Chains A and B, each alone.
Chain A
Amino acid sequence: MQEALNLDATFSALADPTRRAILARLATGEATVMELARPFEMTQPAISQHLKVLEDAGLIIRRVEGTRRPRRLAKDGIEAMDQWLAMLRKALEANYDRLDDVLSAMENREKGKPQ
């Protein structure tokens, strides 16, 4: 049950373009709320709300450093890379399986032509 909730939370977290942009920014390294708020023309409380959603979904982690609370991605770069490559592989395999069908249809049409 807990897993189902987590999965739902993860997709909800990714459904928002600002939260995706925050993740993209954090992929380059950790950042504070103020640093994250700057490019979005949003207030810090609004950004904090997005960060809470991302934290609850387990996508980002908060570190305590004096008065600062820098955030970073929960997954390390290598894992994210593997995940991206796995996604690319799956998309390409689906594409080329369909291309096999397209090619065989082209061949059949060619054969059907009068000589």
Chain B
Amino acid sequence: MSKMTLQTEGDTHILVTRRFAAPPQAVYLAHTDPNLIQKWLLGPEGWTMPVCLNEAIPGGKFRYEWKNAKGEGFYVTGEYLELDPYRRIVHVERMHLPDPTPDNHVETRFDADGAGTLMIMRMTLPDAQTRAAMLATGMEHGMEASYVRLEEMI
């Protein structure tokens, strides 16, 4: 079952949609409560988030740090621009690889959808150079996914 869609929008944006069985209030909380974020915002299998600092107020900062079993890691920092409780979050973030990538502007909406939620996330597409750096990092950080892709490449 594929519940998520991901598509590019023009040259500069990515649109992601995903339906959840829970109401917008719960999905919003899971995006803003550090104790909940730490349980799911982990990326590829095998990664944990030992550091999750999150001040969910307009102008508030966050910092997420990921590590794998080999002790490798990277982190993201960001700031909240707008918070409309249970409905909408606007923030900027950048990855540190360790040099910071250009800011990614992200708008996340939580629309009621029957008893559940339709989440719509619109993010900025990184430029070619940033993508290449993320791809190289992602290959190290997401070995399993990369093996599949590399098998197609070679």
Contacts and interface: CB of A to CB of B under 8 A. Distances in A.
B154 A20 contact: no
A3 B128 contact: no
B51 interface: no
Interface of B, secondary structure class, is: helix
Interface stretch (B53-61, B77-85, B86-94, B137-145): B137-145
Nearest to B8: A85
A110 B130 CA distance: 42
Interface in B118-150: 128-140, 142-143, 145-147, 149-150
B52 interface: no
A29 B150 CA distance: 22
- Chain A interface category by residue count: 35 or more
A88 B150 contact: no
A89 B44 CA distance: 10
Contact of B4 (A10, A85, A92, A98): A92
Contact of A107 (B26, B133, B153): B26
B43 A6 contact: no
A73 B128 CA distance: 12
A9 to B, nearest CB: 10
A103 B137 contact: no
A87 B140 contact: no
A7 interface: yes
Interface stretch (A43-51, A64-72, A75-83): A75-83
Given A99-B20, A102-B39, A93 B4 contact: yes
A77 B150 contact: no
